[in-house]
Amino acid sequence: MAHWTETISDQQHIADLVNAMHSVGIVLITMLDGNAVEGVVRNVTSGNNGGINGWKYRGEIEIETTSRQRLILDFLDIKSIVNAWNQSKAEEYQRLGLIQISSIRIQ
């Protein structure tokens, strides 16, 4: 389970990550320790403590890698999340059965 924020900067960090993820499907995540991982977003979970003893927040993202490994990453352990979507990556993820790309034409 994700850790609770302890500082205003932790809260801002979570808000920044959530904003960076707006409408992305394939992400490149760099962790605070310098490791990086890429995958398709499977789930994002966040919450708060209802203001009991001061507001605290937490959040995590679940991704699935091309090797089909599912990772749940605590927002407070993440340095950055970048949209990694491009045509060739999308085609690779589709070939692997991790995503389905559909085209919709509106006339």
Delimit the domains of the chain by residue range. Answer: 8-95
Instruction: Fill in the amino acid letter for 14.
Output: I
Q: How far apart are CA 20 and CA 101, in angstroms?
A: 22
Predicted confidence (pLDDT) per residue in 59-82, tens digit:
999 999 999 999 999 999 999 999
Q: Is 15 exposed, middle or buried (0-12, 13-18, 19+ CB in 10 A)?
A: middle
Taking 70 as the threshold, does the pLDDT of residue 18 lie above it? yes
**pLDDT (average), residues 41-67:** 93
- Cβ-contact 81, 27 below 8 angstroms: yes
Q: How far apart are CA 15 and CA 63, in angstroms?
A: 19
**What percent of the chain clears pLDDT 90, i.e. is strictly above it?**
71
End-to-end Cα spacing for the chain: 46
Q: In terms of CATH architecture, what is 8-95?
A: Roll (2.30)
pTM of the model: 0.85
